[in-house]
Structure 1
Amino acid sequence: MLTLALANIRTYARRFVAVVLAVLIGTAFLAAAQMVNASTQASLEKSIGESYQGVDAVAELDWARYSGDGTGQLTTSDVQAAAAVNGVAAVRGEASYGARLDTGTTSLAVGVRQVSEEPWEPVNVVEGDTPTSNREILIDAISAEEAELAVGDTVTLLTGDSSTEVRVTVSGLAAPSMNPLTAATAQVYALPHLITATQPPEARRTVDALHLLLDDPASADVVLPRVGEALADSAAGPVSVRTAQEQTMAEVNSMAGGDEAVTWILLVFVLIALVVTALVVVNTFSVLLAQRSRELALLRTVGASRRQLNRSVLTEAFLVGLVASVLGVAVAWGVMSVLAAVARTALEAPFVTIAVPPLAMLGTVAVGIVLTMSAAWWPARRATRVAPLEAMRPQEAATESARLGWFRLSLGGLLALGGSGLLAWGALGGELLLGFAGGALSFIGVLLLAPLVILPAVRGLSRLTARGVPSRLAGLNAARNPARTAATATALMIGVTLVTMMMTGAQTAKATFDARLASEYPVDVTVDGQLAGVAFDQQDVDAVGGLDGVTAAVLLTPAAVSHAGLPLYAAATESLARVVNQPDYLPAAGQVVLPQGYREDVVVNTADGERTLEAIASQAVTLTPIVTPATAAEIVGEGAGDHQPVLWLKVDDALTPAQALDVRSAVASTLGIDEYSVSGGAIEKGLFTQIIDALLMVVVGLLAVAVLIAVVGVTNTLSLSVLERTRENSLLRALGLRAAQLRHMLSAEAILIGTTAALVGTVLGSIYGVLGVQSALSRMADTVISLPWWQLVGVLSVAVLASWLASVVPGRRSARLSPVEGLASD
């Protein structure tokens, strides 16, 4: 049977291309997902391990066992205790503290640590020299470039609270740190005296960790327990003592904890791609074996048993799956290598390392083989059950029924109805897990019942769009093999459904949060003078009011403090009307608008005694309590204590979320304050939209793999149809159908299948997207249904375009064959 299988693969090699492509893409995706996890581990190990070069062991506070009994900070006393242990050659207290470096034009946060000296591993200096005096520093090259510093420049080093400043000279540039724990901050290295001069007093005796050199590194198993005993009574608390390699792995495992979740998320998308791959493989083998029915029957008549033929087909599937899976792993390795090279150069991340776990790659190959053989088993079993004499009958083309068996029909109906009920229950009750389970079950049911929907839809759409002979023939051809058409459309429908589900879910989530933000943040931008520590005045209002994207600005001045200690602010109602998005939140004389949670009237002192201001309750969480200037003038007392004025800004409604965030940066820069002092509805909307859009882009990119495999399936269906309808197409050509019309016929057939799948997928995806968001957010906010119409149109357009492109190669191949050659073919 192996000889027969190899002969069939050689004979029908072109017909196996789609299977190879589908399995290759699916296994490449799976291999890449596993390489991401392994490469992350290897890269972290390499980068973090750099921090412990030339170190034999590390002692640090064991946060896993720390219960709060202790200072939580190692000190120089611990350094001395460890150094006194027999077998320890040297101990260094490793410490880094935050400071600022002022270049005159730029101020940047830096982490300051001591320059390594003998016998420790020296700092890698790429330009200049290490500091030789207490007025010199070494700074990492990347930070120096960003701050436009060069060797010999003089800068000011300030403590975190700016209480101490020292003028220092840049003596050299160090290689950037590869440790992700420190690489995000500019690194400065200095001699001990300079560190003491600029270090906060409370930090001068503390260290972050102890680095140890041993007399004999091979004796670590004996010496390190002694060090642990010496530090057992440390005032800091429980201390762990590990070898440098053990410490590296501990930090890698701590940082890579989230990467396991990322890997599992990737594997979910891999599973989706593999399901689509299985559909393509099943469809391909069904067609191939149907076309070879006479050949199989002839083998049966000359003595081959059903089991032998079945084994031959599975052997074919094994060989095809093996080749495709190995190629998939190779492609994954190539793509990951290119991405790693880009990261090392463009992103300046030299620690990025590619790791190819052998067992995982063997498992990937095994998955590809099992998937291919499993998908081929049912078509093989069905084809070999046909009686030899029945299969020997002449037939123009193999046709397959799409009639569903009672088991599939019953199971699909049960899953679809039961899952839909769970999904609805989850949506109404705000139960995300219940909604997710219901959605998954109902979608499986829909896939089982897909032929009941897709085939009538194909026929109906073909009748609506049939214009001319080629289009009518395309409709007839699409309906000729219902099972094949249904399987092809279902594969594409899966991808379209999931893509549109994510798009609709993202749009509905944004609309829901926009509505909630509008009620909780009645002002686009709020600048809190109390948080910024700045007393804003009218000049500041004029300055920010003239910024691009800002249409109005109002100054709220502290007016009074109520009896309950609530600070009140005043602003003219006509000015507030220009910036407040909720007209109900504008105070009248004698009223005070209060934030969420405050409903009782407010009592204040006036010249005529106590006065009660009518409370206007709101849903705004961050609303500043406001009164009119006339009401504020009646209140007597010491004003609003030490509270600072507040700025409210209105931004242009036409601004995109990203532009709204740019306004935030511009306001902070104009007022000379930090951006965290600038908040508001427009800012929150911009941040939320950026997060949602980024997640959507990643998810759609991952789902695109499944769509690509489905498009391969469309190409495969058309290619096989062209092969089995060679004589028919040639007869049409002989009767007057032009080559261009033949290509048009195949394109119309592909577009018909693709459009049907896209329309059904779009409807399903929109429903799942809305109900999914309802399940996730209904307990937080009222769901606002919003469909991304242009994105949905884009998905439909891409599906139709991809289907048309899938028909190009089969159409050209069919049109090139002359009618005479086609009619003479078998």
Structure 2
Amino acid sequence: MLRTALRNVLAHKARLLMTVLAVMLGVAFVAGTLVFTNTISDAYQKSSQKGFQGVDVAISPDKKDDDSAIPGDAPRLSQQVLDKAAKAPGVGSAYGVVNGYSALADKKGDLLGGGFSNRGGNYYPGADGKDPRYTMAEGRAPKAAGEIALDSKTAERGKYKAGDSIRVSVDGPVRTEKVVGVFTTDDGTVAAGGTLALYDTVTAQKLFAKPGQFDEIDVKAAAGTSQATLKSEIDKVLPEQAKATTGKKLAKDQAKVIEEGMSSMQTAMLVFAGIALFVGIFIIVNTFSMLVAQRTRELALMRAVGATRRQVTRSVLLEATFVGAVAAVVGLAAGVGIGALLRSVLNSTGASVPDGPLVVAPTTVLVSVLVGVVVTVLSAWLPGRRAAKIPPVAAMNSVHAAPTTRGLVVRNTIGSLFAAAGVALVVAGAGMSGSDGQGPMAFGAAVLVIGVFILTPLLSRPLIAAVSPVLRIFGMPGKLARQNAVRNPRRTAATASALMVGLTLITGMTVIAGSMQKGINNMAADGLKSDYVVSMGGDGVRPLSPEVSKTLAKVPDVTAISPLRSSPARVAGDTETLMGVDPKAIKELVNVDFTEGSFGALGGTKVLVDDKIAHNNHWKVGSAFPVTYEDGSKGRLTVGGVYEGNQMVNGVMLDSATVTPHMTTVADFQVMLKTKGGATQDTQNLLKKTLGDNPAIKVQNKQDLSDEIAKAFTLMLNMLYGLLGMAVIVAVLGVINTLAMSVFERSKEIGMLRAIGLDRAGIKRMVRLESLVISLFGGVLGIGLGVFFGWAAGELIASELPTYEMVLPWARMGLFLLMAALVGVIAALWPARRASKLNMLMAIKAE
């Protein structure tokens, strides 16, 4: 039986090629994902470990998480803590670390680093005058205000060298600094495309902290002192709100964070690899079903001469094992190439990855081989089992035994139950809120797809019959194409289902993305009256100097302006964020509906709270509650109004004059403003010019805000299109496979058609139309399911984003249907050509 199985594989090389390609693509995706994420993770881990080589113990602030603690972050470390740590037994050296945001402009005025990670720090010279963290490659370290040192990668990208001037922004206003040095560093964020600027310690403290304060203290052990011993000594001199951590633990924790970050990316990419493999299953089942059908007499003869059912099944599975193994090995090799390519693509986008070898772990090899073999063998099991169950005499009499009526009834009943259960679960999940409905909806979606797949033979007849009038235009080839498409509904269903899965996901995601964009636009329009929102670059929540709002307030075109100040506080026992605003201007800048009170009540100790906070605390207008401010002082506030919160405006709103005295660092996170002429390009340019054409500051109108939020969805959607493209390619292979084997199976019939007058062009047209019909059938099912899943997911999103509005992207759905038709046309090229070239006499003789 082993020899027979191998002979059959070698005898049907061309027929099994598509199966090998389908499995290979899925395996290559899996292997490429594992190689890529393992390589990136390994490179970052090694880079971070280098960064901790000079640190044996790190001292950092430690916030106590209890109700008695002062709101906000733990206090920074003082010079006294540094002095005590430096004198502790076993200490070789100690240096203070200060970090913050520091945006650098290139010589064209654009932001260097693209906002990925723009950091500033301090150069802390030791007894030898050097900071062990940084090695000066050019010039010297900064020693006074107005001097700066750049990392070598940033200097190279910005074309800066020692002696040049550079424009810098820390909290809004533009500063011009002199580049006095260029240094090298093992910092992972710099290696990944970020920027790092160094100042002298006194200047860094003024910019990022306060004089005499540090964000961290790094300690190097004296010779012969272990990290554990050093930590125990330092613990003795630490204040209450500080903690010490060994360098080994820091490196281990950092490695864990990197691994977790890569794990989420790996999981997401493996999901799409799984989709490609799932689509490939349809091809494998189809291929082996047809191979078994074509060898029915051969298998029956084997049964007649003594082969058992188990041996027949085993021979089919041995073929599948061989095919899967070949596909897995080729896929693994291709996957290694894909992993290397993905790293190169990542580097070409500017997000450079630390240098390191390509990592092909033993796990990657094992998983790739197992996936290839297991998926193929499991997919071939059902056709093999079906072949073994055919009685020898029946098989001898009929090569193609039609499925029984009872079998079709059972299949349709099971499919209907699955589909109904899937719809019920999806609808039930859509009726829930937030994450509660995700589980039922995901499970219901899977059940519904399975149900539709089971029902596709039943659905194929009416849907394909619906296009009969169009096919009649093509005469006899069109009529034959329709009959061929419904002749074997199971095969047609399996082929169409491969395309259906890919288009379901693509359509669903497109519906969600378009609806999210509409919801975000509605949110900006409903929540804001202001013409512009000004904020720092990056994530938009970095501290903005109060000077920015003062500068903008002097612009003649500005009619209303309010800085937004955020301060953590403990309100009625819970941690909340107080939002300080200008009580006179805020009503002109935000749009909220009040359930009680109005903006007129805002001022002094009277505050406005959103409806959720009011509901949770049973507050109404006039309710008073205790507050602990950021600096630890206590007071009482009174509810002056209750408003309906939205995504743009929510929380506890109060007069800036009330909260500012209690802030440890006075800064704004946004400035809202309204202008005479409304939001125009000229006004926007004027505001930017007023702020010194600062690359670190964003001046955005409502549409800019919407576009920025939507950009993330668009980027994600484009990535998903690319990843799902793999499933569509596999589906194309499935259509080619089905048509090629169908042509082989119908050789005698095609020969007869040629003999009675159908020319080669007619044969080609017949095969192409059949392919087109099958592809459009899969496209219609996929788009229909995608719209349904998009609606259901939108109901969940709407519970979190009230402005969400479902939008059907008719143009894109038409494009997807056109793409399905194109798949059919392309997939039919080779099978149609092959069918038209069949020798009619030889085909008529074919068994």
Q: TM-score range by the shorter chain?
A: 0.7 to 0.9
Change (3 A) 1:393 1:251: same
Matching residue of 2:121: 112
Change (3 A) 1:5 1:497: same
Give the one of 541, 565, 584 matched to 1:567. Answer: 584
The code of the aligned residue for 2:390 comes to V
Give the one of 509, 512, 521 matched to 2:516. Answer: 509
Please list, as runs of the form range in 1=range in 2, the aligned pairs for 1:459-470 lying within 5 A after superposition: 459-466=465-472, 467-470=474-477
Question: SS in structure 1 opposite 2:245?
Answer: strand
Q: Are 1:820 and 2:826 an aligned pair?
A: no
**Is this contact kept in 2: 1:402–1:451, CA < 8 A?**
no
Give the Å deviation of 1:142: 3.8
**Whole-Å separation in 2 of the counterparts to 1:269 and 1:157:** 42
Matching residue of 2:371: 367
**Is this contact kept in 1: 2:58–2:217, CA < 8 A?**
yes
**Is this contact kept in 2: 1:500–1:762, CA < 8 A?**
yes
Matching residue of 1:627: none
Change (3 A) 1:664 1:26: farther
The code of the aligned residue for 1:567 comes to K
The code of the aligned residue for 1:477 comes to N
**Whole-Å separation in 2 of the counterparts to 1:755 and 1:418:** 26
Q: Are 1:15 and 2:15 an aligned pair?
A: yes
The code of the aligned residue for 2:485 comes to A
The code of the aligned residue for 2:720 comes to V
Segment drifting more, 44-53 vs 379-388: 44-53
Give the one of 162, 173, 176 matched to 1:151. Answer: 162
Change (3 A) 1:336 1:183: closer
The code of the aligned residue for 1:187 comes to L
Q: Give structure 2 stretches of 5+ with no counterpart.
A: 112-117, 536-544, 563-580, 602-640, 650-670
**Whole-Å separation in 2 of the counterparts to 1:213 and 1:565:** 52
Give the one of 514, 520, 527 matched to 1:520. Answer: 527
**Whole-Å separation in 2 of the counterparts to 1:229 and 1:537:** 54
Q: Are 1:173 and 2:149 an aligned pair?
A: no
Please list, as runs of the form range in 1=range in 2, the aligned pairs for 1:512-591 lying within 5 A after superposition: 512-521=519-528, 525=532, 532-534=548-550, 541=557, 555-556=559-560, 566-567=583-584
Question: SS in structure 1 opposite 2:397?
Answer: coil
**Whole-Å separation in 2 of the counterparts to 1:388 and 1:324:** 33
Q: Deviations over 1:34-58 (max 9, x none)?
A: 33442342132133233234x2623
**Whole-Å separation in 2 of the counterparts to 1:620 and 1:132:** 47
Matching residue of 1:212: 220
Q: Are 1:357 and 2:354 an aligned pair?
A: no
Give the Å deviation of 1:486: 1.1
Name the TM-score, length of structure 1 as normaliser. Answer: 0.78
Question: SS in structure 1 opposite 2:188?
Answer: coil
Q: Deviations over 1:486-542 (max 9, x none)?
A: 11111211111221111122223333443444333356646799994246689754x
Matching residue of 2:769: 748
**Is this contact kept in 1: 2:486–2:492, CA < 8 A?**
yes
Matching residue of 2:668: none
**Whole-Å separation in 2 of the counterparts to 1:27 and 1:569:** 57
CA RMSD of aligned residues (A): 4.2
The code of the aligned residue for 2:254 comes to E
Question: SS in structure 2 opposite 1:212?
Answer: strand
Q: Deviations over 1:438-465 (max 9, x none)?
A: 3333333222222221233123324542
Segment drifting more, 307-316 vs 27-36: 27-36
**Whole-Å separation in 2 of the counterparts to 1:565 and 1:130:** 46
Q: Deviations over 1:541-564 (max 9, x none)?
A: 4xxxxxxxxxxxx84599xxxxx9
Q: Are 1:453 and 2:459 an aligned pair?
A: yes
**Whole-Å separation in 2 of the counterparts to 1:107 and 1:288:** 62
**Whole-Å separation in 1 of the counterparts to 2:167 and 2:717:** 45
Change (3 A) 1:805 1:398: farther
Change (3 A) 1:258 1:188: closer
Matching residue of 2:43: 43
Matching residue of 2:674: 646
Q: Are 1:187 and 2:200 an aligned pair?
A: no
**Is this contact kept in 1: 2:161–2:179, CA < 8 A?**
no
Q: Deviations over 1:611-656 (max 9, x none)?
A: xxxx9x9999979xxxxxxxxxxxxxxxxxxx9973266568xxxx
**Is this contact kept in 2: 1:96–1:111, CA < 8 A?**
yes
Matching residue of 1:547: none
Change (3 A) 1:664 1:728: farther
Please list, as runs of the form range in 1=range in 2, the aligned pairs for 1:710-729 lying within 5 A after superposition: 710-729=731-750
Change (3 A) 1:16 1:158: closer
Which one has a bigger Cα radius of gyration?
A: 1
Segment drifting more, 35-44 vs 491-500: 35-44
Matching residue of 1:795: 816
Matching residue of 1:638: none
Give the one of 372, 376, 397 matched to 2:380. Answer: 376
Change (3 A) 1:766 1:56: closer
Question: SS in structure 2 opposite 1:449?
Answer: helix
Matching residue of 1:583: none
**Is this contact kept in 1: 2:61–2:215, CA < 8 A?**
no
Q: Deviations over 1:244-269 (max 9, x none)?
A: 5x422311323443433333333333
Give the Å deviation of 1:134: 6.2
Matching residue of 1:264: 267
Please list, as runs of the form range in 1=range in 2, the aligned pairs for 1:577-616 lying within 5 A after superposition: 595-597=592-594, 600=597
**Whole-Å separation in 1 of the counterparts to 2:148 and 2:406:** 80
Change (3 A) 1:280 1:160: closer
Question: SS in structure 1 opposite 2:246?
Answer: strand
**Is this contact kept in 2: 1:96–1:113, CA < 8 A?**
yes
**Whole-Å separation in 2 of the counterparts to 1:648 and 1:451:** 65
**Is this contact kept in 1: 2:797–2:804, CA < 8 A?**
no
Segment drifting more, 486-495 vs 29-38: 29-38
Q: Deviations over 1:118-153 (max 9, x none)?
A: 687574555x34449769754223433555533333
**Is this contact kept in 2: 1:344–1:351, CA < 8 A?**
no
**Whole-Å separation in 2 of the counterparts to 1:239 and 1:622:** 37
Change (3 A) 1:187 1:538: closer
Give the one of 696, 705, 728 matched to 1:684. Answer: 705
Question: SS in structure 2 opposite 1:567?
Answer: coil
The code of the aligned residue for 1:113 comes to N
**Whole-Å separation in 2 of the counterparts to 1:403 and 1:665:** 72
Q: Are 1:438 and 2:444 an aligned pair?
A: yes
Q: Deviations over 1:229-254 (max 9, x none)?
A: 3324411635343245x422311323
Give the Å deviation of 1:816: 2.8
Matching residue of 2:243: 239
**Is this contact kept in 2: 1:82–1:227, CA < 8 A?**
no
Change (3 A) 1:65 1:410: farther
Please list, as runs of the form range in 1=range in 2, the aligned pairs for 1:726-805 lying within 5 A after superposition: 726-778=747-799, 780-781=801-802, 784-805=805-826
Segment drifting more, 689-698 vs 278-287: 689-698
Identity of aligned residues (%): 26
Matching residue of 1:669: 688
Question: SS in structure 2 opposite 1:202?
Answer: coil
**Whole-Å separation in 1 of the counterparts to 2:672 and 2:824:** 63
Change (3 A) 1:113 1:771: same
**Whole-Å separation in 2 of the counterparts to 1:753 and 1:378:** 23
Question: SS in structure 1 opposite 2:593?
Answer: coil
**Whole-Å separation in 2 of the counterparts to 1:202 and 1:276:** 59
Give the Å deviation of 1:786: 2.0
**Whole-Å separation in 1 of the counterparts to 2:799 and 2:76:** 45
The code of the aligned residue for 1:748 comes to L
Give the Å deviation of 1:89: 4.0
**Whole-Å separation in 2 of the counterparts to 1:764 and 1:13:** 36
**Whole-Å separation in 2 of the counterparts to 1:745 and 1:159:** 69
Give the one of 695, 713, 716 matched to 2:716. Answer: 695
Question: SS in structure 1 opposite 2:749?
Answer: helix
Give the Å deviation of 1:350: 4.5
